[in-house]
Amino acid sequence: MLQAIATPGSLAEAHAALSRLPDARLLAGGTALVPVLNYGTDDFTSLVSLRHVGLTGVNVKDGVVTIGAATTLAELEDERALAFLRAALDAIASPTIRNMATVGGNLFVKQPYGDFAACLIALGASAMVSNGTTARVEAIETVVSSGLKQGEIVTHVSFPLPEAGSFKFAKAGRKALNAAAIVTVAAVVETAAGRVTRVSIGLGGVAKSAVRAASVEKALSGNSFDRVSVERAAKEATRDIDPSDDAYASAWYRARVAPVHIRRALIGE
């Protein structure tokens, strides 16, 4: 049962609170954590809020985007440099949830949530992780698949701005708002003379965490960017995914449609 909530005013104070409260969970927007409390399935007795720690805001400098982990998804919608992410943001939850849900929190929500994490994988993003003494930089896919040690905090995520028009996104869900993913596909595809010069694909809804579709990327790199080539490469996704059954779709269905949604995201047909 919850017994303490710390509301630190700086990163140093947040780490001090985590040391003082060893079973504490970090509280960001609370959209995933508060339902756990409401259902009484929590296994922690204290929370450390990130609300006043100063980890908000978007900075774009020299083609690199840096986002504070406590920045809400709604705040990203207002950022002109991130206009390419608008369709992806619109596909996450609903405006009400996006007003609270944070970028950092989206890295740690259980699948089939975590659409923004899939976008960050596609963008080649890294996370800055602080343990109170030192900070390390980790690839987003490592953070989402391995999690953090107790006492660690993601402070920022950063990624290079993709070439104009190179970011692709598609999400299959059961309804428009508040729909968890059946399959989410985020990708950056750059081409020259009809051939793929760079491809990076993040998938959601099809594994324990958002994953990189490394086999698809390998099959597409250097090849023609056309339907035949994309369709062939997308079939390789079965090597990258490990879907589960849930109320939204069966594992069998997810595996079956993942290549279709990859093709649709990449070439729009």
Ligand X SMILES: Cc1cc2nc3c(=O)[nH]c(=O)nc-3n(C[C@H](O)[C@H](O)[C@H](O)COP(=O)(O)OP(=O)(O)OC[C@H]3O[C@@H](n4cnc5c(N)ncnc54)[C@H](O)[C@@H]3O)c2cc1C
Q: Which residues lie near ligand X (CB under 6 A)?
A: 25-33, 50, 69, 92-93, 97, 100-102, 104-106, 108-109, 113-116, 148, 153-154, 178-180
How far apart are alpha carbons 110 and 120 in whole angstroms?
16
- Closest to ligand X by CB, 8 or 225: 8
State the sign of the Cα–Cα–Cα–Cα dihedral 173, 265, 145, 30: negative
How far apart are alpha carbons 254 and 249 in whole angstroms?
7
- Closest to ligand X by CB, 84 or 108: 108
For the bound state, the minimum distance from the C-beta of residue 221 to ligand X, rounded and expressed in Å, comes to: 28
Strand extents, DSSP E, 2-120: 4-6, 25-27, 46-49, 58-61, 64-68
- Closest to ligand X by CB, 84 or 116: 116
For the bound state, the minimum distance from the C-beta of residue 113 to ligand X, rounded and expressed in Å, comes to: 4
For the bound state, the minimum distance from the C-beta of residue 207 to ligand X, rounded and expressed in Å, comes to: 14
For the bound state, the minimum distance from the C-beta of residue 108 to ligand X, rounded and expressed in Å, comes to: 3
Contact, 137 vs 126, CB < 8 A? yes
For 126-143, letters b (16+ CB in 10 Å) and e give: bbbbbeeeeeeebebbeb
- Closest to ligand X by CB, 204 or 225: 204
- Closest to ligand X by CB, 50 or 186: 50
How far apart are alpha carbons 131 and 117 in whole angstroms?
21
For the bound state, the minimum distance from the C-beta of residue 258 to ligand X, rounded and expressed in Å, comes to: 17
